[in-house]
Amino acid sequence: MPVTQMSTATLTASIIVVGLVVVFLVLILLAVLIRVLGQLFGRVAKLEDSAGQDKNPAPVAHAPAAAAVAPSAAQGIDDEVLAVIAAAVAAYSAQTGVQYAVRRVTRSKARSSWGLAGLRQNTNPF
């Protein structure tokens, strides 16, 4: 049917449908492309990691992290919080193979995360 014989509503509907189909096909194509590139770069990173590591790495001795934590009861920090911080540092040390120690734990005098988020939200330009 020629364009001159189509009603305005039919023409509008067909243009909308064709536009939506094209947009969604392009989005699907982009999603597939991103997934393929992610898998490709993931394989390349694994190959580089396996090539860069020794076959038998030397064992790393770790000191107990609890011994490295200085008492901070005077600062009002609970012992459980210190234990959690020390455990996190010890886990990170074991993961990276580098020895870390907690020397001091102090409270921050800055705004809390919630306070910063509220400040940022209320002062953002439109």
Would you give the distance in Å from CA 95 to the centre of its chain?
Answer: 18
Q: DSSP letter for 112, please.
A: P
Q: pLDDT means per 10 residues in the chain (126 residues)?
A: 74 95 97 93 83 59 50 66 88 88 79 87 84
Distance CA(122)–CA(114), nearest Å, equals 12
pTM for this predicted structure: 0.36
Distance CA(36)–CA(43), nearest Å, equals 11
